[in-house]
Amino acid sequence: MRNITKHEVEEENGPLFSIITVTYNAEKSVGVTLASVREQTCTLFEHLIIDGASSDETVAVCRRGATPREKLYSAPDDGLYDAMNKGISMASGKYLIFLNAGDTFHSPDTLQKITDTILANNYPGVVYGQTDIVDAGRNKLAGRHLEAPLRLTLKSFADGMVVCHQAFVALRRISGRFDVKYRYSADYDWCIRVLQHSRSNVLLPGVMVDYLYEGLTTNNRRASLRERFQIMCYYYGVLPTLWRHIKFVPRYLRRRRVEKGFN
């Protein structure tokens, strides 16, 4: 009789991961995300696709070639974070991964590497990694403007979104819901609250996620920055946040120069 592996024990007790993908009229971008998840060598996951009642062929694309691990829900919602909350309420995995339409795991063995890291570190609160920015042809444009730190703590996020949300794998039992009063930066607030309850955070070496660059929307960018400033003030104090923002100016200008080079 062969020995039962830890992976098989996890599979018997439910999925290790709930991968949540929110879509709305994403027929042109969701296909690569589905393919990325389907080709993962690790199969300890469910893939929850939360669609906001798309009027294009998004649902048809999701159903094409669907696997038993995929669960598609399509109904009107109140925006991105409301849809993400729906995904959380439906999730049964021990860990949550949010992979937006157009974003992909960096390689077919990414999920296996995350699994090995989780098992080797006795189920940490957060596993996180680096992010590459890619274009629609999946060509690398640049690394993310903020590099994930070697050591991640609650204080790390006082310097901004130092880890891309898609590369932030969180233990579900310490993860609350997104605060939908924030329209553009609820993911930043959510990550901070997860870190408040995490006993350990482990860096996965190398790139975890390829993030699709879709260009700049000035109005949304400004609104997002305003929300992020409010969140920083709440968790880290007004005066320290003001001082940090003075230091952020050179970083912001560097980022804008890099993004202009994408276009």
Write down the pLDDT at residue 213: 84
Residue 227, token pair as written in the block: 């929300």
* Under 8 Å between Cβ of 108 and 39: yes
Q: For the chain, 263 residues long, give each residue's pLDDT as a single digit of tens.
A: 233 345 544 555 789 999 999 999 999 999 999 999 999 999 999 999 999 999 999 999 999 999 999 999 999 999 999 999 999 999 999 999 999 999 999 999 999 999 999 999 999 999 999 999 998 888 888 778 788 999 999 999 999 999 999 999 999 999 999 999 999 999 999 999 999 999 999 999 999 999 998 754 556 878 888 999 999 999 999 988 888 877 665 655 565 655 566 55
Element (H, E) at 140: strand 140-143
d(CA 229, CA 242): 9
d(CA 163, CA 74): 29
CA dihedral sign, ordered 234, 237, 239, 241: negative
